[in-house]
Amino acid sequence: MTSLAAPSASTSSVDTSALKRPTQQFGQDQFLTMMLAQLKNQDPLKPLEPSEFLGQLAQFSTVTGVQEMQKSLGTMVDSLRSSQALEGANFVGRQVLAPGSTATFDGASTVRGAVDMPAGTAAAELIIRDAAGAVVRTAPLDPRAGLTGFAWDGRNSAGNPVSPGAYKIEVAARRGDRTESLETMLQSRVDSVTLDTGGAGLMLNTMNGALPISAVRRVM
């Protein structure tokens, strides 16, 4: 480590006004009432065909089944969210390593991170930049393949402490005759967790920003 100190239905002979009320759900009781009224008021010369009757029953059964499935899925989703929240509580207070390139320096704590050094790297350098893009500090990194850690104590190249704020963390690696920028990972303390209902899932809130739990590479 390098360290920088439902559908609706109606017939001409059935009063379905109650079924049209926006606040009333079309359920099993309403359907059966409608079907009995339809049978009672059918034209004797044109009785309801058994196939038509069975078709209406099948349609209702299908709709009811879908509604029940939706209720079951909703219950399952709520249960999964509760499990995620409990899982996230275990991260609070822990250190996690996740991809990131902007570190928040609080004026005292060492900024730590790591980079996955590719094979064939001849040389690598850690570069710290301030909000304006100016280089604050540089340091060589171990070019050997594998996970290489780094640490920055918040001092510039002259050894003087820098002001608290956001700093850009970069790693430049030389491979053959070209230099490339590598993805950096930052070590952050999880202060709290948030269950994002918008689809992002469990979010870990750290000093370096919020990150999805799926982005975590290591938990310390």
Condensed to tens digits (0 to 9), the pLDDT of residues 68-95 reads 666 666 665 555 556 666 677 788 999 9
pLDDT value at residue 146:
95
C-alpha to C-alpha distance for 152 and 159, rounded to whole angstroms: 11
Asked if the model's pLDDT at residue 54 lies above 80, the reply is: no
Which token pair is 35? 């079907």
> Which residue, 213, 209, 208, is CA-closest to 196?
213
**Do 35 and 107 belong to one domain?**
no
Average pLDDT (101-124) is: 96
pLDDT at residue 198, rounded to an integer:
65
Q: What is the pLDDT of residue 32?
A: 67
CA distance 52 to 114: 70
Residues in the chain: 220
Distances in Å between the alpha carbon of 16 and those of 13, 21, 44, 67, 209? Answer: 9, 10, 22, 21, 56
The reply to whether 100 and 125 lie within a common domain is: yes
65 lies in some domain: yes
Give the pLDDT score at 88.
Answer: 75
45 and 116: one domain?
no
Predicted pLDDT of residue 19: 46
Average pLDDT, the chain: 80
One domain for residues 106 and 184: yes
Percent of the chain residues topping a pLDDT of 90? 51
- For residue 19, being part of any structural domain is answered with no
pLDDT at position 6, please?
42
- Same-domain check for residues 45 and 147: no
Which pTM value belongs to this model? 0.63
Q: Are residues 111 and 208 in the same domain?
A: yes
Question: Is there a single domain that holds both residue 133 and residue 175?
Answer: yes
| 44 lies in the same domain as 102 | no
Structure tokens at 216: 């975590």
- Written as one letter, the residue type at 143 is P
CB atoms within 10 A of CB 120: 11
| Interacting residues of 123 by C-beta distance below 8 A, sequence separation 6+ | 140, 143, 173, 174
The DSSP output letter for 155 is: B
Which has the closest alpha carbon to 186: 100, 93, 94? Answer: 100
Query: Can you read off the two tokens belonging to residue 13?
Result: 């002979």
User: Residue 65 pLDDT > 70, yes or no?
Assistant: no
Do residues 135 and 194 both lie within one domain? Answer: yes
**157 plus 78 within the same structural domain:** no
Residue 74 lies in a domain: yes
By DSSP bridging, strand 165-175 and strand 123-129 are antiparallel
Residues 155 and 174 in one domain: yes
State which residues form the domain around 132.
95-219
Q: Which residue has the higher pLDDT, 136 or 59?
A: 136
Amino acid at 204: L
Token reading at 183: 């993805």
Asked if 214 and 153 sit in the same domain, the reply is yes
Lowest mean pLDDT among 16-25, 33-42, 159-168, 186-195: 16-25
Q: Span 58-77, mean pLDDT?
A: 63
**Number of domains observed in the structure of the chain:** 2
